[in-house]
Amino acid sequence: MKFLSNRKKLIYLTGVILSPFAICFTGANFIYYVWLGTANPERHIAEKVDHLALAYFGLTLLILIVLLFCIYKLVKGAKRSAINQ
């Protein structure tokens, strides 16, 4: 009995491969906007920079959850297919 189709495996593997790059990108943007808000507060609008930093932090956490979900599903499917063989 097959628990994960090839299409689902491909989707989960794509998520596992691409998520770390997206986490690095959004994490770097979060650090940049936090630094931008503290380094020169009179030049930039503090509220706008704070909102951007918070948005990138939330996006980083969301992508991290997607990564963990993809890993969980791949491990669960591998365990089930190994038990039923």
Residue 68 lies in a domain: yes
Does the pTM surpass 0.75? The reply is: yes
Give CA separation, 5 vs 9, 78, 81, in Å.
Answer: 6, 12, 11
Residue 31 structure tokens: 């650090």
DSSP 5: -
Per-residue model confidence as pLDDT tens digits over 37-79: 888 777 778 788 889 999 999 999 999 999 999 999 999 988 8
Residue 12 lies in a domain: no
Residue 37 lies in a domain: yes
Residue 54 lies in a domain: yes
Per-residue model confidence as pLDDT tens digits over 12-23: 999 999 999 999
Residue 61 lies in a domain: yes
Residue 63 lies in a domain: yes
Residue 58 lies in a domain: yes
Q: How many domains does the chain have?
A: 1
Residue 35 structure tokens: 């630094």
Residue 18 lies in a domain: no
- For 51, the domain range is 26-74
